[in-house]
Amino acid sequence: MTGLEAEPTLAAVDVRVMLAGLWTALMLTYLLGDVIRIFAGDFEPGRMQGQEVGQAMWLIAAGVMLIPIAMVVLSLMLPFPAIRWVTLVASAFLVIFNLVGLPYPGLYDNVLILVGFVFNGLIIWQAWGWGG
């Protein structure tokens, strides 16, 4: 390496890698909200929004949190154009899911959800414009 090689431009970054990175950022944003919720004391073991919940609800919560994790892998492995449509549907679902819960109790939660909306918007933008 001579040091004269140009840095890759944003357009040169493979869409699959870009999507995997955006899904990772989204997942970490969701996890950051959960960690802050615990440290802020806004968390009660065995409860969601003050209500006691059973195993079925925890399974649903795990499924929702698995979406960005699965999308990292699928972004790198699923063939085009299937990955384009799976990405659009998964990201739109998460936007709707989070919109239904607004507003959240803590300011940090609302800010992190807004950051998540930005990441989802970038994911949708990348997938929508992906020509294969």
Predicted confidence at residue 81, as pLDDT, reads: 94
pLDDT band, residue 104 (cuts 50/70/90): confident
Distances 15 to 25, 44, 89, 91 between C-alpha atoms, Å: 15, 40, 17, 15
Predicted confidence at residue 46, as pLDDT, reads: 86
Distances 49 to 23, 27, 41, 44, 109 between C-alpha atoms, Å: 26, 21, 13, 9, 13
Predicted confidence at residue 3, as pLDDT, reads: 62
Predicted confidence at residue 91, as pLDDT, reads: 98
pLDDT digits (tens, 9 = 90+) for 60-94: 999 999 999 999 999 999 999 999 999 999 999 99
pLDDT digits (tens, 9 = 90+) for 109-129: 999 999 999 999 999 999 999
Domain ranges of the chain: 27-128
pLDDT digits (tens, 9 = 90+) for 10-54: 665 799 999 999 999 999 999 999 999 999 988 888 888 788 999
Using the predicted structure, report yes or no on whether residue 1 has a pLDDT greater than 60: no
